[in-house]
């Protein structure tokens, strides 16, 4: 029996290793992957990809903002990323008179480049395995509480040493649920300026209709420039700053791609959950995602109804709507893929074989025998808590005014103290004024009031009374279930709904103002929901998730013993990763086959449909009609996008897609909708990353924008 179980495990391991394209690998460990990459066509060495002592590809990659990737493409600090990654900065710099979202923006001289306030880019200086140092004095007999405090203290000591004598940002990240730890050292640049962006009709061509969809025809790119002080070091914005001189920048290939070409994506994927169990997958696919989708359906319909036909509101809410719609559509595709490809059944199968392997040996049974039963127990406890947690996040916290009111808690608490600290109060007031100015510049009361009414209604109707703030049941009776009337009364009375009144309070802050604000209906609603959450949900939710992490830590250890030949990649956690694969089309469903590339012909074809998301700018139509394609023409047209089997996730947006020589061939910007389950389960038959072909970006920069000076900065390989 033992031999049979072992043989079954070996067969499964071998079949897994055939899925060569799965994984998001730490560049510091490229030595373990480089042979497999070379078998697929890679011509780089591990040192070419990642090196601390010499310049390498990692020095041309940046964490762009808080959750995207960018890459250096010139020796003058020019960065290229996705249009949707630069969207927030482009929006902030836009106005009715200068609508850069609608019309695009191009700086033909450096003096025309626009400072993107608040935007940063971060270079990874180095990463280091510090597991032994983090787990020093931790043994198998150490209690979890003691382990947590020891690990936290060890991490702080490691970070202090790493930061000594420099201005770097340092972080220690846990991998495999705390089985391993790595130190990340970053250099963060603050003076970032917008250089170029196509109009949204190109940069967001297809809009929501095509989001997460293939075939795709989106020119999803934008360009920024990093500025540094005279010593090439990070510095706040200054007219004295100069373009950053990178250690490495990417050369750009004009050769393009063909079927089965090797591709590599180098970037900062956000979050994956590859090792969660069948109970977790079932909860996500069949309960949590459907709930969140339904709530965002409502919000999106409300926003769109007010944005339609109102240019001011459209600009104001463009980024908010885009953010809400992106996750909404992803969740739909993710749940569909998980159900279609029987993810729960496959997890159950793995767990069954793991259970057999464990029970076949007394020592293994002693170590891992309780792991799977513990998951059953914990997920049964988590289910109602997780649902309520989701409704707090997606319903209550989706109301902008409630969120804004919550920012006044620190100053309200400060005024409750026996003696005021004047400097602290002044500092808090300064922050509140700044936040209020930003908030009201992108706040439209009718939208938020309607969202408020609908979200409160959904919370009341879907969450058990035991988990609700007491006032909701009373209000349901008082207003006879008419939450819109309740919303009208609340927004009519609230000081937070009146920007002039609120700024008057902030400019003349005293005990009367603090009393008015702390007793405000919106603030009291925030306080009541927050109190109920903290008492009934938050603590218990954290207890269960902490227990799950502990159990997963043990489960991963067991899986590694169970499958000794398998190379386990760590889940994504916004650290720099390499994924690799090949250019390939796919079959989304029976009798349908998708090619691996799209062209400008498809842009024009979609434009002829006269659909809102498919508006083709006049100049682009003219260039197409005249076949004025310049050096970027391929078979009488322009390549636009392509798909490959690279394993990607959120955060990989803007990541460079590199060929076998490490040259830039595209920018990753999306995944195919049918395979968005790849955050939880990767399947090479259906999971595809979508990239804009770099030749389309170059064509837009050169022929559409006439920004030839930017092309001259780059190194093009024919």
Instruction: State yes or no: pLDDT of 208 exceeds 90.
Output: no
pLDDT at 418: 80
pLDDT band, very low/low/confident/very high, at 510 (cuts 50, 70, 90): confident
The mean pLDDT of 208-212, rounded to a whole number, is 90
C-alpha separations of 695 from 72, 204, 603, 632 in Å: 16, 17, 15, 6
pLDDT at 16: 36
pLDDT at 21: 74
pLDDT at 511: 83
Measured distance CA(486)–CA(491) in Å, rounded:
9
pLDDT at 242: 98
pLDDT band, very low/low/confident/very high, at 251 (cuts 50, 70, 90): very high
Measured distance CA(551)–CA(558) in Å, rounded:
11
The mean pLDDT of 320-337, rounded to a whole number, is 92
Strands 252-253 and 716-717: parallel
Measured distance CA(283)–CA(481) in Å, rounded:
30
pLDDT exceeding 90 applies to what percent of the chain? Answer: 88
Instruction: State yes or no: pLDDT of 12 exceeds 60.
Output: no
The mean pLDDT of 319-332, rounded to a whole number, is 90
The 10s digit of each residue's pLDDT in 571-605 is 999 999 999 999 999 999 888 999 999 999 999 99
**Residues annotated as part of the active site:** 84, 220, 653
Instruction: State yes or no: pLDDT of 263 exceeds 80.
Output: yes
The 10s digit of each residue's pLDDT in 394-413 is 999 999 999 999 999 999 99
Dihedral of alpha carbons 486, 491, 493, 494, sign: positive
pTM: 0.87
For residues 612 and 661, which has the higher predicted lDDT (pLDDT)? 661
pLDDT at 288: 97
pLDDT at 236: 97
Instruction: State yes or no: pLDDT of 11 exceeds 50.
Output: no
The 10s digit of each residue's pLDDT in 682-712 is 999 999 999 999 999 999 999 999 999 999 9
Q: What residues have CB less than 8 Å from 265, skipping those under 6 apart?
A: 578, 579, 580, 646, 648, 652, 655, 656, 657, 658, 668, 689
Of 3-12, 52-61, 269-278, 299-308, which range is least confident? 3-12
pLDDT band, very low/low/confident/very high, at 19 (cuts 50, 70, 90): very low
Domains recognised in the chain with CATH numbers: 2-120+190-271+573-717 (2.40.10.120), 278-557 (no CATH)
Please, which residues bridge with residue 324 across strands?
none
Average pLDDT, the chain: 94
Instruction: State yes or no: pLDDT of 453 exceeds 90.
Output: yes
Q: Name which of 246, 57, 31 is nearest 664 in CA terms.
A: 57
Instruction: State yes or no: pLDDT of 128 exceeds 80.
Output: yes
Instruction: State yes or no: pLDDT of 14 exceeds 60.
Output: no
pLDDT at 18: 38
The mean pLDDT of 154-177, rounded to a whole number, is 96
The single residue listed with the structure tokens 């490809």 is 341
Give the chain's length: 718
pLDDT at 443: 96
Instruction: State yes or no: pLDDT of 9 exceeds 80.
Output: no
Query: Phi first, then psi: what are they for 29, rounded to 5°?
Result: -105, 25
Instruction: State yes or no: pLDDT of 15 exceeds 50.
Output: no
The 10s digit of each residue's pLDDT in 139-157 is 988 988 899 999 999 999 9
The single residue listed with the structure tokens 């179980």 is 5
Measured distance CA(656)–CA(73) in Å, rounded:
10
Q: Is 92 helix (H, G, I), strand (E, B) or coil?
A: helix
pLDDT band, very low/low/confident/very high, at 417 (cuts 50, 70, 90): confident
The mean pLDDT of 432-445, rounded to a whole number, is 95
Q: Is 612 helix (H, G, I), strand (E, B) or coil?
A: coil
The 10s digit of each residue's pLDDT in 74-126 is 999 999 999 999 999 999 999 989 999 999 999 999 999 999 999 999 999 99
């Amino acid at each position: 029996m033992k031999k049979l179980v072992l043989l079954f495990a070996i067969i499964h391991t071998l079949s897994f290793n055939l899925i060569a394209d799965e994984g998001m690998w730490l560049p510091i460990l490229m030595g373990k992957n480089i042979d497999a990459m070379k078998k697929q066509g890679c011509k780089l060495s591990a040192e070419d990809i990642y090196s601390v002592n010499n310049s390498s590809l990692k020095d041309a990659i940046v964490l762009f903002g808080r959750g995207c990737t960018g890459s250096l493409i010139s020796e003058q600090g020019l960065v290229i990323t996705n249009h949707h990654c630069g969207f927030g900065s482009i929006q902030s710099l836009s106005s009715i008179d200068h609508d850069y979202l609608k019309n695009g923006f191009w700086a033909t001289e450096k003096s025309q480049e626009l400072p993107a306030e608040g935007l940063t880019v971060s270079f990874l200086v180095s990463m280091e395995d510090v597991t032994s140092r983090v787990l020093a004095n931790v043994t198998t007999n150490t209690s979890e509480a003691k382990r947590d405090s020891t690990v936290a203290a060890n991490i702080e000591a490691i970070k202090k040493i790493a930061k000594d004598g420099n201005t770097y940002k340092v972080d220690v990240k846990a991998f495999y649920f705390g089985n391993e730890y790595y130190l990340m050292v970053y250099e963060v640049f603050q003076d970032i300026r917008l250089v170029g962006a196509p109009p949204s009709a190109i940069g967001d061509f297809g809009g929501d209709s095509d989001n997460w969809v293939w075939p795709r025809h989106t020119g999803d790119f934008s360009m920024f420039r990093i500025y540094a002080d005279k010593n090439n070091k990070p510095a706040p914005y200054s007219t004295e700053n100069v373009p950053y001189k990178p250690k490495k920048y990417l050369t750009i290939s004009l050769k393009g791609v063909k079927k089965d070409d090797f591709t590599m994506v180098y970037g900062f994927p956000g979050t994956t959950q590859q090792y969660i169990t069948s109970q977790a997958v079932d909860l996500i696919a069949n309960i949590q995602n459907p709930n969140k989708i339904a709530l965002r359906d409502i919000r999106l319909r409300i926003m769109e109804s007010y944005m339609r036909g109102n240019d001011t509101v459209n600009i104001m809410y463009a980024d908010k709507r885009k953010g809400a719609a992106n996750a909404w559509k992803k969740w739909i595709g993710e749940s569909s893929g998980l159900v279609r490809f029987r993810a729960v059944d496959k997890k159950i199968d793995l767990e069954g074989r793991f259970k057999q392997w464990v029970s076949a040996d007394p020592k293994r049974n002693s170590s891992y025998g309780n792991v799977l039963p513990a998951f059953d127990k914990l997920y049964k406890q988590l289910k109602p808590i997780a649902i309520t947690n989701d409704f707090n996040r997606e319903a209550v916290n989706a109301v902008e005014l409630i969120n804004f009111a919550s920012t006044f808690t620190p100053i309200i608490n400060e005024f409750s103290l026996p003696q005021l600290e004047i400097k602290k109060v002044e500092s808090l007031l300064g922050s509140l004024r700044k936040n209020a100015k930003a908030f009201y510049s992108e706040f439209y009361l009718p939208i938020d009031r309607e969202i408020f009414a609908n979200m409160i209604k959904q919370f009341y109707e879907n969450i058990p009374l035991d988990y609700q703030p007491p006032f909701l049941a009373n209000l349901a009776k008082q207003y006879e279930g008419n939450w819109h009337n309740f919303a009208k009364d609340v927004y009519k009375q609230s000081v937070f709904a009146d920007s002039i009144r609120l700024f008057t309070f902030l400019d003349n802050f005293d005990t009367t103002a603090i009393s008015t604000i702390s007793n405000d209906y919106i603030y009291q609603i925030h306080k009541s929901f927050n109190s109920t959450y903290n008492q009934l949900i938050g603590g218990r939710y954290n207890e269960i998730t902490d227990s799950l992490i502990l159990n997963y830590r043990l489960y991963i250890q067991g899986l590694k013993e169970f499958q000794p030949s398998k190379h386990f990649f760590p889940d994504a956690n916004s650290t720099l990763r390499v994924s690799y694969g090949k250019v390939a089309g796919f079959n989304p469903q029976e009798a349908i086959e998708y090619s691996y590339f799209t062209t400008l012909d498809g842009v024009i074809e979609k434009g002829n449909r006269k659909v809102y998301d498919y508006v083709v700018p006049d100049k682009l139509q003219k260039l197409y009609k005249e076949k004025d394609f310049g050096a970027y023409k391929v078979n009488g047209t322009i390549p636009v996008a392509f798909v490959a089997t690279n394993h990607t996730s959120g955060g990989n947006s803007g990541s460079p897609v590199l060929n076998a020589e490490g040259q830039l061939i595209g920018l990753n910007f999306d995944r195919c909708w049918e395979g968005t389950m790849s955050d939880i389960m990767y399947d090479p038959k259906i999971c595809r990353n979508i990239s804009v072909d770099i030749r389309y970006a170059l064509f837009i920069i050169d022929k559409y924008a006439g920004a030839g000076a930017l092309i001259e900065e780059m190194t093009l390989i024919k």
